[in-house]
Amino acid sequence: MMMQERRHEDARGEILFDAEVSPQVGHDWFVPDYWRERGALRVQAGGRGGVAVIETPAGECVLRHYRRGGLVAALLGDRYLWHGAARTRPFREFRLLAQIARLALPGPGVVAARYVRRGMFYRADLITRRIAAAQTLAECLAAGRLDAGLAAAVGELIARFHRAGVCHADLNAHNVLVTAHGLYLIDLDRGRFRTPARRWQQANLRRLRRSLLKLGAAPAGAAAFEAQVWQPLLTGYGRTPNP
């Protein structure tokens, strides 16, 4: 099914949505309390992203509120500087995910994006389809399920995105989902298409490596991590053909 991008603009801000998923999406869709009142709020978690799982007319979805991290969060919180609608975080991620879907890459299906503008700043939200029965790679690691086979599959997954020129801005073990029928990359905020090049691709891989090590992927030492996890991951990455 091809995406039918639609836009709705009013005094509050603007919504970008896929009319093939839902013919109409209003501001209420981006408010967790709206779904709670209808008994359709499944899970709500805090943290930097502010994520909720909601049961929508389009099926089970993930609602994410954009929040800043790091030191700037103390100053701006969830506000972003306005540079035009096309450059807002949710609209850029919406269109990136739409293109990823057209390339048949395994990412979350996008439903709708919104910004609410006030003066020089805006706040933002994104709704994507929930990937069911999934665990993050970090959860697999914690459960002792990160073996050579899974590591190789992760390498193959990343290579597919890299060969297509997709650069994930925050490639870490929390943004790889593992399911019984395949792996997915999620949370592509600030991701973009780039000309495939070894420099940024290797930087992406190093970021994932740091994430795995920070989460305790080398309990038996560096040599065991290299042999049992990292080298299988690189082997999977290297054997993935160009699209």
How far is it, in rounded angstroms, from Cα 120 to Cα 9? Answer: 17
**Active-site pick, 33, 170, 187, 189:** 170
User: Is 240 within 8 Å of 156 (Cβ atoms)?
Assistant: yes
How far is it, in rounded angstroms, from Cα 62 to Cα 132? Answer: 11
How far is it, in rounded angstroms, from Cα 46 to Cα 69? Answer: 13
How far is it, in rounded angstroms, from Cα 66 to Cα 123? Answer: 7
- Find how far residue 225's CA is from the centre of its chain: 26
> At 82, phi and psi to the nearest 5?
-75, 125
Instruction: Name the helix (H) or strand (E) containing 90.
Output: helix 89-102
**Burial class of residue 195, CB neighbours in 10 A (0-12, 13-18, 19+):** exposed
Active site residue 170: yes
Residue 235: HSE in the Cβ half-sphere, 13 Å Cα cutoff: 12
Catalytic residues: 170
